[in-house]
């Protein structure tokens, strides 16, 4: 039976953090604050980097290093080699090397180390698979899926997002049937007016449509129309949307600001959400989006993300990342408890819409991939797509040219008589 015993589980990042000497724990916390506040890294990146640094310092301590000053290139390479023997994937190794270089460079700049041993640390070349891209008709089916199925009624968690529907008589499940919320003539306003065809058939709220479907459709339309990241969508405030010019202001990685246009379907979906859906949720929850709850984070944008045990500073507005501006908390999209919509809920929204449209499992980033590929297929300039996506390097955008080439090759093989 001994052969079937499981190996002892590795300590979590938080457990490793707590096992470090106090001096090193404080260094990790300072580094986390630097990443989140000074560099404006995303919450996901901060958590990953802090976990990597804690792992590195734990390995270094096992090698007899008691301070950051004791780190050298041999220790860094030994740490990566140890992770490789555990079966680490190349992308994970590349991220670990990047985290180590960022950490040692920061430690050198602030005087914790006389040298920067990470400057000579090479990254393993990560293999890049072609992204999952929907066809244009599949993307259209996905973004219009919300509302195509009857909405669940009464209290309890929604099966597709895990959010809890209010169970009160004035809840949000049956708008247009005497409830507060979507009652009215069912027409969608672009800017207080009807859409292009004067109806709500394509992207608006109808009498029987619930606020969840209105919100989810607006989320999906905006993701596909703009190609923004899920974190960027959740970070949006109402003031970031210029309805007249149909442009959304996005704060991306490193706090870089960019303006991204969107089309009429997204305009109409947003109008329906802002005119009917959002006020209904706000009224039912007594919130303007600054409170906590499903989809909401009540801590500040200037938080030092707590990954791997780093301290968290609370404030007002949005939490998790710092995008180069202080937020007062007027989110564009709300969760059903009145707080800011969380990326986890958005991922569930996309996955549920894909199931409803009979599509393979789809993630928010797949809509970003699809938007970029469809732009290039339609003749958009590669530099313009780079700017829209917020890529700092053109090489990140060029992956979509390979996707377009592969799609063209597949069409050629299928259709050409001499293929």
Does residue 205 register a pLDDT over 70?
Answer: no
Residue 219 has a pLDDT of: 97
- Residues 100 and 118: their CA atoms lie apart, in Å, by 6
In a domain, 318, yes or no: no
Looking up residue 185, the CATH number of its domain turns out to be: 1.10.443.10
Given a contact cutoff of 8 angstroms between Cβ atoms, the answer to whether 87 and 93 are in contact is no
* Total number of domains constituting the chain: 2
Residues 50, 182, single domain; the answer is: no
Reported as a pLDDT band with limits 50, 70 and 90, residue 380 is confident
CA distance 88 to 10: 14
pLDDT digit string (tens) for 187-198? Answer: 333 333 333 333
Same domain assignment for residues 115 and 181:
no
Query: What pTM was computed for the model?
Result: 0.63
Same domain, yes or no: 60 and 109: yes
What does the DSSP 8-state code read for residue 150? P
Q: Which two tokens stand for residue 75?
A: 């220790």
Q: Which residues are catalytic?
A: 229, 253, 365, 368, 391, 400
Whether pLDDT at 330 is above 70: yes
CA distance 51 to 49: 5
Do 171 and 27 share a domain, yes or no?
no
Q: What is the pLDDT of residue 400?
A: 78
**Do 167 and 85 share a domain, yes or no?**
no
- 228-242 pLDDT, tens digit per residue, is 999 999 999 999 999
Same domain for 169 and 110:
no
- Angle at CA 177, nearest 5°, toward 196 and 345? 70
Asked if residue 293 has pLDDT above 80, the reply is no
Q: How many CA atoms lie within 13 A of 57 on its CB side?
A: 33
Name which residue leads in pLDDT, 309 or 265. 265
How far is 119 from 219, CA to CA, in rounded Å? Answer: 41
Q: Provide the domain limits for residue 273.
A: 136-296+331-376
Cα distance between residue 261 and residue 222, in whole Å: 10
Mean pLDDT of the chain: 76
Tell me which of 285 and 5 has the higher pLDDT: 285
Does residue 158 share a domain with residue 91? no
Nearest CA among 365, 418, 372, 366 for reference residue 399: 372
What CA–CA distance (Å, rounded) separates 271 from 289?
A: 18
Domain identity same for 250 and 177:
yes
Alpha carbon distance 359, 233 (integer Å): 23
Residue 388 in domain: no
101 and 212 both lie in a single domain: no
């Amino acid at each position: 039976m001994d052969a079937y015993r499981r190996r002892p589980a590795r300590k979590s990042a938080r457990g490793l953090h707590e096992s470090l000497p106090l001096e090193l724990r404080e260094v990790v916390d300072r580094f986390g604050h630097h990443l989140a506040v000074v560099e404006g890294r995303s919450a996901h990146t901060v958590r990953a980097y802090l976990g990597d640094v804690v792992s590195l310092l734990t390995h270094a301590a096992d090698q007899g290093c008691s301070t950051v000053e004791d780190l050298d290139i041999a220790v860094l390479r030994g740490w990566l080699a140890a992770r490789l023997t555990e079966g680490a994937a190349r992308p994970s190794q590349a991220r670990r090397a990047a985290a180590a270089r960022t950490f040692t460079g920061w430690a050198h700049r602030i005087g914790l180390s006389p040298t920067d041993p990470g400057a000579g640390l090479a990254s393993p070349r990560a293999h890049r698979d072609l992204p999952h891209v929907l066809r244009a008709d599949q993307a259209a089916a996905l973004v219009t899926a919300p509302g195509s199925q009857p909405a669940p009624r009464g209290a309890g968690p929604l099966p597709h997002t895990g959010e809890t529907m209010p169970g009160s008589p004035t809840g949000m499940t049956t708008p247009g049937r005497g409830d507060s919320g979507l009652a009215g003539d069912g027409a969608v306003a672009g800017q207080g007016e009807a859409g292009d065809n004067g109806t709500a058939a394509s992207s608006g709220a109808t009498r029987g449509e619930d606020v969840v479907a209105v919100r989810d459709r607006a989320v999906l339309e905006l993701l596909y129309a703009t190609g923004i990241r899920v974190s960027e969508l959740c970070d949006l405030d109402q003031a970031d949307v210029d309805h007249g010019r149909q442009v959304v202001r996005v704060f991306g990685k490193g706090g870089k600001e960019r303006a991204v246009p969107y089309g009429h379907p997204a305009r109409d979906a947003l109008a329906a959400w802002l005119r009917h859906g959002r006020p209904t949720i706000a009224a039912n929850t007594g919130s303007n989006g600054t409170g906590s709850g499903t989809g909401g984070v009540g801590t500040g944008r200037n938080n030092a993300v707590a990954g791997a045990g780093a301290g968290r500073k609370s404030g007002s507005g949005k939490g998790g990342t710092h995008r180069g501006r202080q937020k007062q908390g007027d989110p564009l999209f709300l969760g059903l408890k009145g707080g800011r919509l969380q990326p986890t809920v958005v991922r569930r929204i996309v996955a549920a819409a894909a199931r409803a449209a009979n599509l393979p499992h789809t993630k928010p980033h797949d809509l970003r991939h699809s938007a970029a590929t469809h732009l290039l297929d339609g003749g958009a300039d590669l530099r313009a797509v780079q700017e829209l996506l917020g890529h700092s390097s053109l090489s990140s955008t060029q992956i979509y040219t390979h996707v377009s080439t592969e799609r063209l090759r597949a069409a050629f093989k299928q259709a050409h008589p001499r293929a």
